[in-house]
Amino acid sequence: MSRYFTSLFVIFLCFSAFGQDKPIDLQPKDTIEYKQEYGLRVGIDLNRPLLSFLDEDYTGFEIVGDYRLTQKMYLAAELGNEEKTLFEDVGNSPLYNYTSSGSYIKLGIDMNTYENWYGMNNAITVGGRYAFSSFSQTLNEYTIFDSNRFFNPDGFLVGAQEGEEFSGRSASWLEFVLGLKAELFANIYVGMSARLGFLITNSEEERFPNLWIPGFNRITDGSNFGVSYNYSISYFIPLYKKSKKKKEEVPEEE
Amino acid sequence: MKKLIPILLLTFLIGYFASCEKDDICVDGDTPLLVIGFFDAIDTTLSKDVPALRIKEIILDSIVNTITDRSSSLDSIVIPLRIDATSTSFAFITNSADDAETEAETGDIDTLTINYESREAFVSKACGFVGNYDNLSITLPESDDNWIQDITIVQQTIENSTNIHVKIFH
């Protein structure tokens, strides 16, 4: 019985094929395919040089880059160097200040979640990075915190080993990245990103822990999370073109 | 645009949480004070108040600011130690009073020298460094009229002021 139906179905299929042999195409397809450009995008962070200029306790730069892998996926990386001096006080009494200085690299992917209109190349990306930083911390000046002022009525006692450098420190972390990129002029992009980092490894000693890591930013006591951001301007180097894969459309049955 | 809104919200949320820092106020530590408990010389488990106790630091020649001066109801006291030295000397005066005419001290003076090794310790981001003390020892010059009978060091390393470090029997 089922065999009978199957063969009947096959016969119908043949007929339908014949019927579709020369369809009257009321909406002829646009034969000009829009090809998407693939290539390398390189740029610099604008925020860090600006901060270097404005803040005398900070210098830094960052190179950003990404390489388009597929329609939505980009291989992304950041490379940077930062130096920052931070001060900690209690009330008006200085406690200590230190300089953290070093380089970092961040590698990962970005996924574009934005559906561009024809010819547009903007992006709203969600991505992840693995980041590694190698740096040193120098304890410039410090005092011994003592709420009893019997022996030192005028202020805290100055520490014995000022200017001590703690070199060879390293840290690695994972980053969750939210980013925006817009094509300002042809092949020139401006972007911004906000990053939430989660510290995985952090080499430190009891004598003076890591409090600020280049690329990661400030470390909060009792927390592995850190927040950073960047504003970038980048240039897109087109390497090849590839058309977007059409989604398989389900033919509507009439 | 529909996708932009949750992303922007999330960005603000991250910024919001990042701006709250719990470690801006120093609550985690301090340079500890030496805690001394006074006990009865006969029944050594019994704490015993010192009558009209006055404690003077020798070099500064001033009365310590951590106890009520000439109080008769103290069975334990806290005193500061010098961080930038390896010893601090105090005159422990019992039955402290001033002579009516000369204003000289009439109480019984025992001079204790507290020896230690001081060490800097990083406590937290908000507090920075504090002083800690190791290898505590106390010397009391031998004398027949000492009011202090015996001294026991309970704890040689001083990192906080929560318990008694030294017991003085009198």
Using the Cβ of B3 and the Cβ atoms of chain A, whether some distance falls under 8 Å is answered with yes
Residue of A nearest to B12 (CA): A194
Cα–Cα distance, A232 to B48 (Å, whole number): 72
Provide, as residue numbers in chain A, all residues whose Cβ is less than 8 Å from the Cβ of B30.
Answer: 145-147
Using the Cβ of B30 and the Cβ atoms of chain A, whether some distance falls under 8 Å is answered with yes
A162, A140 contact by CB (below 8 A): yes
Other residues' Cβ atoms within 10 Å of the Cβ of residue A73: 16
- For chain A, how many residues are written? 254
Mean per-residue pLDDT of chain A = 85
Q: Are strands A188-202 and A225-243 parallel, antiparallel or unpaired?
A: antiparallel
Dump pLDDT digits (tens) for A202-221. Answer: 888 788 899 999 999 888 87
- Mean pLDDT within B64-82: 87
Check residue B52 and give its pLDDT. Answer: 87
CB contact under 8 A, B26 and A145: yes
A143, A157 contact by CB (below 8 A): yes
Token representation of residue A81: 């160097």
Cα–Cα distance, B22 to A220 (Å, whole number): 8
Least confident of A25-34, A122-131, B30-39, B91-100: A25-34
> Looking at the predicted structure, is the pLDDT value of residue B134 above 90?
yes
Cα–Cα distance, A61 to A77 (Å, whole number): 14
Dump pLDDT digits (tens) for A104-123. Answer: 999 999 999 988 888 788 88
Check residue A242 and give its pLDDT. Answer: 84
Band of residue A11 on the pLDDT scale cut at 50, 70, 90 = low
Pairs across A and B, CB distance < 8 A: 102
Provide, as residue numbers in chain A, all residues whose Cβ is less than 8 Å from the Cβ of B125.
Answer: 88, 211, 219, 221
Compare B147 and B143 and report the one with higher pLDDT.
B147
Q: What percent of chain A has pLDDT over 90?
A: 48
Token representation of residue A59: 């210098």
Dump pLDDT digits (tens) for A72-89. Answer: 899 999 999 999 999 988
- ∠ CA B45-B48-B53, nearest 5°, is 145
CA distances from A212 to A84, A209, B11, B28, B92 (A): 8, 9, 21, 20, 47
> Looking at the predicted structure, is the pLDDT value of residue A2 above 80?
no
Using the Cβ of A206 and the Cβ atoms of chain B, whether some distance falls under 8 Å is answered with yes
B36, B150 contact by CB (below 8 A): no
- Mean pLDDT within A131-160: 89
**Max Cα-Cα span within chain B:** 91
At A51, give phi and psi (nearest 5°).
-65, -35
Mean per-residue pLDDT of chain B = 84
Closest CA to A230 of A168, A182, A180: A180
Across the beta sheet with B34-39, the strand order is: B76-79, B34-39, B166-169, B150-153
Check residue A83 and give its pLDDT. Answer: 95
- Mean pLDDT within B36-56: 89
The shortest C-alpha distance from B113 to chain A (Å) reads: 16
Residue of A nearest to B65 (CA): A150
Q: Are strands B34-39 and B166-169 parallel, antiparallel or unpaired?
A: parallel
B-contacting residues of A 45-84, CB under 8 Å?
Answer: none
Check residue A66 and give its pLDDT. Answer: 92
Cα–Cα distance, B132 to B118 (Å, whole number): 6
Check residue A31 and give its pLDDT. Answer: 64
**Best residue in A145, A161, A193 to probe B by mutation, most B CBs within 10 Å?**
A145
A216, A100 contact by CB (below 8 A): no
Using the Cβ of A151 and the Cβ atoms of chain B, whether some distance falls under 8 Å is answered with yes
Check residue A220 and give its pLDDT. Answer: 82
The shortest C-alpha distance from A26 to chain B (Å) reads: 34
At A65, give phi and psi (nearest 5°).
-160, 150
Compare A189 and A159 and report the one with higher pLDDT.
A189
- For chain B, how many residues are written? 170
Cα–Cα distance, A34 to A120 (Å, whole number): 11
Provide, as residue numbers in chain A, all residues whose Cβ is less than 8 Å from the Cβ of B11.
Answer: 178, 194
Cα–Cα distance, A166 to A229 (Å, whole number): 26
Token representation of residue B13: 């949320």
Check residue A159 and give its pLDDT. Answer: 84
Least confident of A31-40, A47-56, B133-142: A31-40
A-contacting residues of B 32-71, CB under 8 Å?
Answer: 33, 57, 60, 64-66
